Amino acid sequence: MDLFAPIKDHHHEKRIFVSRIFLSVVISILLLGTVVARLVQLQVIEHEQFSELSQGNRVRTEAVPPIRGLIYDRKGRILAENLPAYQLELIPEQISDIDDTLERLARLRLIAADEIERIKSLAKQGPRFKPVTLRFRLNDDEISDFAIHRHRFPGVDFQPRLVRHYPNAKYTAHAIGYVGALSSNDLQRLDAAEYAGTAHTGKTGIEYANEAKLHGDTGFRKLVTNARGRQIPTDPRDLPDTLPANESPEPGENIYLSIDLDLQKIATDALEGQRGSAVAIDPRNGEILALVSAPSFDPNLFALGMTNAQFSSLQNDQDRPLFNRAVRGNYPPGSTIKPMLALAALEIGATNLTRRTLCIGHYSLPGSSHRYRDWIPQGHGEVDLHDAIEQSCDVYFYEISRKIGIDNIHDYLLEFGLGQFTGVDISGEKKGLMPSIKWKRNAFRERADQTWFPGETVIASIGQGYMLATPLQLANAVAALATRGKRYRPHMVAATEDPMSGERDLISPEALPDVSINNEFYWERVIGAMNGVMQGARGTARAVGEGADYDMAGKSGTAQIFSVAQDDEYDEEEVALRLRDHALFIAFAPLDDPQIAVAIVVENGASGSRVAAPIARAIMDHHLGFAASAL
């Protein structure tokens, strides 16, 4: 062992230290080179790509809703428009106590108390900087009241917007329909991208059926936002040129309807206080001139947003004002089918123009004691086909029904459009029902209920039993009578218009298969009998047709909804109002050049001639340019 060996080797330590320094420098240079290389990649090589991604985080695209198309009547009068209005909005992040704010707004009657929970729920669903609509339209007094108290409501203010408005609300509610707030079901059937900035959509009537035309195309605009998504005021010229330009929305098409606002008003006023419907059609082309259901309602409530109490009141009203009786109401057509049944009987030889029947006030099937009663207890005496239609003799049709048969009744009435969809261009139409042997066999589960009985044919001959039709179908059927079998699909849209160019696209009438009656002479004899109903010496509606300046044809009907025992008599005054017979009337005019066909149904009106016929006369008078008759 070397006693004098050095304890510390300075040269060795120095070499180690130098080598470590060198290694550290190399590693640092490599790391710095990596950082520099990455910076060059990001800032130079991939600059354009990351610049676009950065702008995407900073610039948000917001949908701009289009202006909804307008709706006009046949004379160019506005039926649905868009009006500027102020809506009350709340921004949650600017309010420290939302409960107190909403309660104070309710005390000022700016919102309904029962809406507070719904508003609070909406405020919690989205970002706190997003406004929540409290009211869709404020009137001038409400704006003034809020302006006085605005300092007490930080985070609450009113903003301008366009809202749907129906200036002739109750007169056109069921024909035009209404718009309402988008629901989850609506968003499932609609293009979500097209409705990104839209709050409302058509719910019923023309508004629903023509939603694609009325809505228009959504546009978009660019908004600069911060990391939280809040908009930052920015000059659009400062945005990069690489971003797509703003796209303006395209307004929806304007729609011109065939309905006449004057006829709508006449029919609506005539049905005031009653439940029923009136439909008028131009038999030459199928244009609907009037479509009214009573009672009506105010569609503006749906466009503006109604309270729970308001909606509940409409829903629970026993008169069902939201129910469109014109296209959805199924009623026994009663004696209004007799002219059509007479044509069928003549065509198949079940009767002829000279055959006479003795009406003693009732009829019984061979081998049966059951009496099918006529509406006149003592009977009409001896009648032929003309008399049977003019005086509405039930017994005559009871007798010939056995020879016609239910299947022939079914087939011929289908040719007139009864018991099937008309294909009208509004939503919600019901089919009605024309019974047959096959129908009954398939309609009932129990075998004993599947048999068609002769007595069911008897009551079907006067439009009772299983038979059901809508007022629109009845109007369409009488239009076919007016044209001697020429038929057109009923429609309300007469033209669409490009709001930018003003160019109109007219809707052509759609012809349907003609009614196949081979002997043209039968048409004239049956229509002559219908003329006798209104202007004949013994016509059931002669009081209504009296004094007219033009020839007209019509047929009254009474649809029984309350059964009377065999030996009892029907007393209108003793039957509860809602159990009384429905009153029906169909008519067309002028006789030789038909321009209008009308169907009227008054629920529980009891008498078609006395209650429904005057409404038809008033509608025809106005349309043909004559002084309106007294209702």
Q: Among all residues, which ones are annotated catalytic?
A: 335
Query: Could you tell me if 166 and 176 are in contact, meaning their C-beta atoms sit under 8 angstroms apart?
Result: yes
Residue 258 has φ and ψ, to the nearest 5°, of -85, -10
Residue 480's nearest CA partner among 584, 586, 348, 556 is: 586
Residue 616's nearest CA partner among 510, 482, 514 is: 482
Tell me which H or E stretch contains 291: strand 288-294
Q: Residue-wise over 604-613: b if at least 16 C-beta within 10 A, else e?
A: bbbbbbbbbb
Token pair listed for 573:
């005054």
Torsion angle of C-alpha atoms 117, 118, 122, 128, degrees rounded to 10: -30
3-class DSSP assignment, residue 232: coil
CA 2 to chain centre: 114
* CA distance linking residue 537 with residue 391, whole number of Å: 10
Burial of 7 (0-12, 13-18, 19+ CB in 10 A): exposed
Query: Could you tell me if 343 and 517 are in contact, meaning their C-beta atoms sit under 8 angstroms apart?
Result: yes
* CA distance linking residue 27 with residue 30, whole number of Å: 5
What is the DSSP annotation of 315-362? HH-TT-TTS-HHHH--B--GGGGHHHHHHHHHHHTS--SS--EEE-SE
Asked if the bond preceding 299 is cis, omega within 30° of 0, the reply is: no
C-alpha to C-alpha distances, 461 to 334, 470, 553, nearest whole angstrom: 9, 18, 21
Chain position carrying tokens 């009653």: 274
Asked if the bond preceding 295 is cis, omega within 30° of 0, the reply is: yes
Query: Could you tell me if 614 and 631 are in contact, meaning their C-beta atoms sit under 8 angstroms apart?
Result: yes
The beta-strand segments (E) located in 65-199 are 71-72, 78-90, 132-138, 156-165, 179-181
Query: Could you tell me if 603 and 350 are in contact, meaning their C-beta atoms sit under 8 angstroms apart?
Result: no
Query: Could you tell me if 435 and 408 are in contact, meaning their C-beta atoms sit under 8 angstroms apart?
Result: no
Q: Residue-wise over 36-56: b if at least 16 C-beta within 10 A, else e?
A: eeeeeeeeeeeeeeeeeeeee
Question: How is residue 491 annotated by DSSP?
Answer: B
Residue 235 has φ and ψ, to the nearest 5°, of -70, 125
Question: How is residue 469 annotated by DSSP?
Answer: B
Chain position carrying tokens 């081979």: 518
Length of the chain equals 631
